[in-house]
Chain A
Amino acid sequence: MAVKYYDTLENLVREAGAEGAVLVSVDGLAIASVLPHGIDEDRVAAMGAAILSLGERVTAELNKGQLEQLYIKGSTGYVIFTGVKDVAVLGVLAPSNTKLGLLLMEIHRAIKRLEAELG
């Protein structure tokens, strides 16, 4: 079952030149991941779900509907969290020299596939 999600993530990482990706349930539990060695999957998963949930609370306070995507830039790269329907969160790690436009487009494509796979 998780193989199809894994394939989608691997495809995303390969096509977009990302460093890793993780699919997380809204509970903060990892569904599937393709992460570089040394990165704790559980911590990334829990934090991704928590950040997106808190972001949604902020937008709810503003009466601005659902928050779809949130990205964090660090000196060594980007971490991008995107909601997949109401059931999961996709986290992508990318290096700082990544082509952000291409990455966002690939994420969008992956989200469509994941939405179909998650039903």
Chain B
Amino acid sequence: MDVTAELISLLNKAQRDAGLYYVGIFFKDVEIASKTSSRSTKLPLTFGRLIERSLELNDILPNFREEFLFSEGKDYSLFVYYVNNEISIGMIHIGKPNFSLLKVTASDLSRSIRPYLQNIKEIYEEKLKTLPQQKEKPLPRGDLEEEKVKKQPEQVVVDKTFYSNYPEKLEVEKISELESILQSTPEKKEEIVIPSIEDILKDNKTSENVEDVLIKEEPKITTEFKHPSLEELILAPEDYQPSEQVLENFEEFMNKIKVEFIREIGPFGNFLFKKKREEFFKNKAINKFEILKFIQALSEEITIYERRQKFVENARSFLLNT
């Protein structure tokens, strides 16, 4: 029996004994093996990130040496048992919280997996190796088309029928005014995957809600990017000159905010975002405080209160979880 199968067998036993909803072995933030009743693919990723963040406590508090993390609600409990400073066991129990049961189960499981710690590290290293290979894989046909779309210079054509489908109808005068600004602005090549209005129209998507289009495209933007950590942003001094890597991550982060902004304000958001960004970061350092101010400045453009709140909430959440 290979190591993964043996680990899954141990997890099976733990799940059965404690009636767990989810139990998994993690190396840092990567799930090595798990047993779950959940169909969600996001759960291991989010749980992994939670574990990774919690491991930072060992750096912040001298000699802290984490033992476990626990949280409970009325009918659920989360438990993370740290086998060492890299390997953890994550558990979710649905039902009346029982801290002692989870601790005993995790402790038993920890003892059972001790002979496999080296193997777990090897599996993790294997998983890491496969990540760059996935990036080098030839793009499937759909993705190649996406690439083509990305390389085309963006041209903005405004069709009033498009706006009639948008939930918040804009005033005709305002549209005409912005049309003239949009058409007079020289457009550069875009690195973002958001389809231009022209592309949407060409693809007969005029009847679709802008939000639907953006939601479909969003995963292309959010994957594979590494943003500057919150720590980097917080520690950045006023005269901080970001490295190329940080600048690249900053660009990806700004793209995410841009998508969110367009989603909440509508298609004019593309133009407004560029304009605001150019004005705002002209003489300002790239750090967290300035980004927060920038988010605030953008939000003031959104007239509908609920949408403005949603935008601020989502943009801040991106910033927090980078």
Binding site for B on A (CB under 8 A): 26-29, 38-40, 42-44, 46-47, 49-51, 53-55, 57-59, 61-62, 64-65, 67-77, 79, 93
Contact = CB atoms under 8 A, between A and B. Distances in A.
B321 A70 contact: no
Contact of B73 (A47, A67, A75): A67
A46 B76 contact: no
Given A54-B321, A58-B46, A64-B94, 5 more contacts: A27-B319, A28-B230, A49-B320, A64-B76, A71-B69
B70 A47 contact: no
B118 interface: no
Contacts of A55: 50, 71, 78
A39 B53 contact: no
Contacts of B94: 62, 64
B73 A59 contact: yes
Contact of B60 (A26, A43, A59, A64): A43
Question: Which 8 A-B pairs give the minimum distances between C-beta atoms?
Answer: A74-B64, A70-B71, A54-B50, A75-B65, A64-B76, A72-B69, A46-B230, A57-B46
A93 B63 CA distance: 14
Contacts of A42: 231, 234-235
Which of A57, A72, A77 has the most B CB atoms < 10 Å from its CB? A72
Contacts of A70: 69-71, 78
A114 to B, nearest CB: 20
A117 B230 CA distance: 27
A76 B64 contact: yes
A43 to B, nearest CB: 5
8 contacts: A28-B319, A43-B59, A47-B57, A58-B50, A61-B46, A74-B57, A75-B63, A76-B61
A38 B40 CA distance: 41
Nearest to B48: A54
A79 B76 contact: no
Interface in B47-83: 47, 49-50, 53-54, 56-73, 75-76, 78
A28 B57 contact: no
Contact of A61 (B42, B60, B70, B319): B42
B21 A62 contact: yes
A28 B78 contact: no
Contacts of B230: 28, 46, 50
Which of B49, B54, B59 has the most A CB atoms < 10 Å from its CB? B54
B315 to A, nearest CB: 10
B7 interface: no
A119 B21 CA distance: 37
Contacts of A67: 71, 73
B317 interface: yes
Interface string B72-110: 110110100000000000001010000000000000000
Contact of A74 (B65, B71, B92, B320): B65
Contacts of B40: 61
Contacts of A28: 230, 234, 319-320
B292 interface: yes
B43 interface: yes
Given A27-B316, A61-B42, A73-B68, A46 B231 contact: yes
B60 A74 contact: no
Contacts of A71: 69-71
A116 B320 CA distance: 25
B229 to A, nearest CB: 9
Contact of A51 (B42, B50, B58): B50
A51 B67 CA distance: 16
Contact of A39 (B60, B69, B292): B60
